[in-house]
Amino acid sequence: MAYVITATCVDVNDMACVEECPVDCIYEGARKSYIQPSQCINCAACQPVCPVDAIYSARQLPEHLAVDQQDNRAFFVEVLPGRDAPLGSPGGSRRTGPVGVDTPRIAALPARP
Ligand code: SF4
Ligand code: SF4
């Protein structure tokens, strides 16, 4: 089971976790980042560097945050606003660069105070 970036990342999105990921599977949206679940190797390297504790192993994800696991997956399998195809598994976030959009759920969240 992959690691999950929860909505706590919204409007922080400092990319500290991206630097730690050995398989380059953390992709940058507009307001938060998202882990590609089929690329994640569950190494846990990203978790301790997050300044807001937004990252969980799917096994340890509290039940009330399950929606974040679904939303994280949706970022890759659904067609994001302004795009004409799902992002899928594009082979590395550095090669892909910032995606620049979020899932509709994340985009609709109020700004972090
Ligand atoms: S658990 Fe490891 S492979 Fe998965 S996103 Fe974090 S750093 Fe990358
Ligand atoms: S380290 Fe935390 S706040 Fe920064 S981008 Fe990753 S999940 Fe978001």
Mean pLDDT of the chain: 96
Read off the CATH number of the domain in which 84 is found: 3.30.70.20
The number of distinct structural domains making up the chain is 1
> What is the span of the domain harbouring residue 19?
3-89
Residue nearest to atom 2 of ligand 2 (CA): 50
Cα 94 to ligand 2 centre (Å)? 16
Please report whether residue 14 resides in a domain. Answer: yes
Decide if 108 is inside a domain: no
CA of 73 to the centre of ligand 1 (A): 15
Residue 1's pLDDT is what? Answer: 79
- Dump pLDDT digits (tens) for 36-81: 999 999 999 999 999 999 999 999 999 999 999 999 999 999 999 9
Cα–ligand 1 centroid distance for 61 (angstroms): 15
Residue 27 lies in a domain: yes
% of the chain exceeding 90 in pLDDT: 97
C-alpha 47: how far from chain center: 12
Residue 78 lies in a domain: yes
Do 94 and 28 form a contact (C-beta atoms < 8 A)?
Answer: no
Please work out whether the CB of residue 109 comes within 6 Å of at least one atom of ligand 1. no
pLDDT score of 35 more than 90: yes
Q: Using CA atoms, how far apart are residues 11 and 17, in angstroms rounded to an integer?
A: 15
Residue at 107 is within a domain: no
Does residue 109 lie within any of the structural domains? no
